[in-house]
Amino acid sequence: MSTSHHLKPVSPVLLSLPLDVSVPNNELPVVLYPKVSGDRDLETVFRTAFHSHSWRGLWADGVFGYHHFHSNAHEVMGVLEGEATLMLGGEEGRVIDLCPGDVLVLPAGTGHRRMRASPGFQVLGAYPKGQETYDVYTPALDFANARARIRAVPLPHEDPVYGPDGPLMRAWGQVHAVSP
């Protein structure tokens, strides 16, 4: 696994989410890399890692306070500042806490929303190359065709943190290999 000197190797936490009536989710697990960096300049560390591993469309902001998902793109978020609690997977999903240095990778279709955040909470987000033009669905929208779009989203070519041999590639590749 290739790493930058600013990123430490950590074991990922894999979170499987059930299908939900309000959001489709995905058979691929959510990947959480806790505290991959303690660097003071996390924006540069994450920007460099994401860009060098072909994750594009970089943005810095918070996380919406309502459930939403992207049917045509996977998403990575690296926590730059503050702390937050997110709900993943819809109302029946999982609650996770994030802090600076954490990286969260959401497969297409994964519902997510901010439940609470400290002042100044900010993440740096990106999408695999070719998926930068993403949609935003909320439970209030008709997403009847979303599941077909989600299944059609290609796997990224590289893990946004650790590159082509990173844990994300193994975790998602194993699921993808056994799926119909």
Mean pLDDT of the chain: 90
Identify which has the larger pLDDT, 55 or 141. Answer: 55
Structural domain includes residue 60: yes
**Distance from C-alpha of 14 to C-alpha of 41, rounded to nearest angstrom:** 26
Range of the domain at 152: 13-169
Structural domain includes residue 91: yes
Judged by DSSP in three states, 150 sits in helix
- Cβ contact 102:161 at 8 Å: no
pLDDT tens figures, 55-85: 999 999 999 999 999 999 999 999 999 999 9
Structural domain includes residue 152: yes
Q: How far apart are the first and last CA of the chain?
A: 29
Structural domain includes residue 83: yes
pLDDT at 6: 79
- Least confident range of 2-6, 55-59, 121-125, 171-175: 2-6
pLDDT at 96: 98
Q: Is the pLDDT of residue 178 over 50?
A: no
| CATH code at position 21 | 2.60.120.10
Structural domain includes residue 178: no
Identify which has the larger pLDDT, 146 or 126. Answer: 126
Average pLDDT over residues 160-178: 85
**Distance from C-alpha of 59 to C-alpha of 127, rounded to nearest angstrom:** 10
Domain count, the chain: 1
Structural domain includes residue 175: no
Sign of CA dihedral 119, 70, 167, 42: negative
